[in-house]
């Protein structure tokens, strides 16, 4: 079975709405660095109950020792997000601010704080899929400490995944939240003081549950759905926090985003594929955002 092919017997399709143009404020995106990590398709059958096996045998797309792999996701992301020249730039920016006129000191100080935060703060946006959640946790917990990168993992149902139907999203989020609380309360074993799971933003997950409850999103409509409006809302919300935003999702269900206006996927005519990493580059002189291909990453072999 190809990584991007649904398992035999799966009949529910992913439905992408007609509106594919994203409603993006280009100026807002320039304050953050956006990365897209495309994963293989989830091997699980669609259901509301999440495979909440967050232990050593949890399903993943990347290796448990991903940080030891020469071209693993951990190494690649760390290289692109925090290159060596970023440290030099921050140091020089701090030095220069001490010698300029007082009128510019405050402006440079604000620029330094923003650049420093962008260099050290990373937010993973992941679908309610245990495989992808665990991928993000592996990277977050294995990232080199020397640069003191701060990672946080946010679970959001607006990122589609083939293992969770639209009508099952609310149940899936509730299952994940309950599991995380049980670890924190000591009702589940496997993690020392829950440190491994501490990267997950539980308050953010609870807010998504609350939003779905208020919108009565436990719908009767079957199938998967991902609209341009949903994606736009998610990206614009996260852009407010600045820093590095790492969007993780299946190539099959999320690759279309990088081919939609105002994103200009100009490096290749073929669709984005699984195991590929991209970065969004904002050009102030153009009304679009360049989608730059960065690299592929080492992935667990398919079990077909």
DSSP string of 231-276, one letter each residue? HHHHHHHHHTT-EEEEEEEEHHHHGGGGGSTTEE--S-SSPP-TTE
In the three-class reduction of DSSP (H, G, I as helix; E, B as strand; rest coil), residue 114 is classed as helix
pLDDT at residue 120, as a whole number: 67
Distance CA(106)–CA(93), nearest Å, equals: 12
Query: Would you state the pLDDT for residue 217?
Result: 46
SS3 (DSSP) at 198: helix
The whole-number pLDDT of residue 214 equals 86
pLDDT at 150: 79
Please report the pLDDT score of residue 64 as a whole number: 87
Q: What is the pLDDT of residue 266?
A: 52
| pLDDT score for 19 | 41
**Spans of the chain below 50 pLDDT:** 1-19, 85, 88, 193, 217-223, 303-304
Residue 197 φ then ψ, to 5°: -90, -5
Burial of 65 (0-12, 13-18, 19+ CB in 10 A): exposed
> pTM score, two decimals?
0.79
Write down the pLDDT at residue 9.
36
pLDDT at 14: 41
pLDDT for res 168: 87
What is the reported pLDDT for 210?
94
Task: Check: CB of residue 171 under 8 Å from CB of residue 48.
Answer: yes
């Amino acid at each position: 079975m190809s990584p991007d092919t649904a398992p035999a017997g799966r009949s529910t399709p992913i439905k992408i709405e007609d509106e594919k143009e994203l409603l993006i404020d280009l100026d807002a995106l320039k304050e953050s660095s956006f990365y897209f990590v495309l994963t293989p398709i989830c091997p699980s059958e669609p259901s509301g109950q999440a495979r909440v096996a967050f232990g050593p045998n949890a399903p993943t797309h990347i290796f448990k020792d991903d940080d030891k792999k020469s071209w693993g996701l951990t190494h690649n992301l760390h290289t692109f997000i925090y290159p060596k020249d970023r440290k030099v730039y921050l140091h020089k920016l701090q030095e220069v601010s001490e010698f300029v006129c007082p009128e510019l000191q405050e402006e440079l100080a604000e620029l330094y704080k923003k650049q420093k935060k962008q260099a050290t703060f990373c937010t993973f946006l992941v679908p309610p899929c245990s495989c992808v959640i665990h991928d993000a946790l592996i990277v977050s917990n294995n990232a080199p400490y020397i640069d003191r990168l701060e990672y946080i993992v946010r679970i959001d149902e607006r990122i589609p995944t083939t293992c969770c139907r639209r009508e099952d999203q609310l149940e899936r989020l509730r299952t994940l939240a309950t599991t995380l609380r049980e670890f924190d309360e000591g009702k589940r074993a496997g993690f020392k003081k829950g440190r491994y799971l501490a990267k997950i933003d539980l308050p953010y997950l609870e807010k998504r549950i609350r939003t779905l409850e208020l919108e009565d999103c436990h719908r009767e409509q079957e199938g998967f759905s991902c609209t341009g409006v949903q994606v736009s809302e998610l990206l614009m919300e996260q852009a407010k926090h600045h820093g590095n935003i790492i969007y993780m999702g299946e190539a099959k269900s999320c690759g279309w985003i990088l081919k939609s206006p105002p994103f200009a996927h100009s490096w290749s005519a073929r669709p984005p594929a699984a195991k590929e990493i991209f970065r969004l580059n904002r050009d102030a002189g153009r009304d679009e955002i360049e989608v730059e291909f960065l690299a592929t990453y080492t992935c667990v072999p398919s079990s077909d």
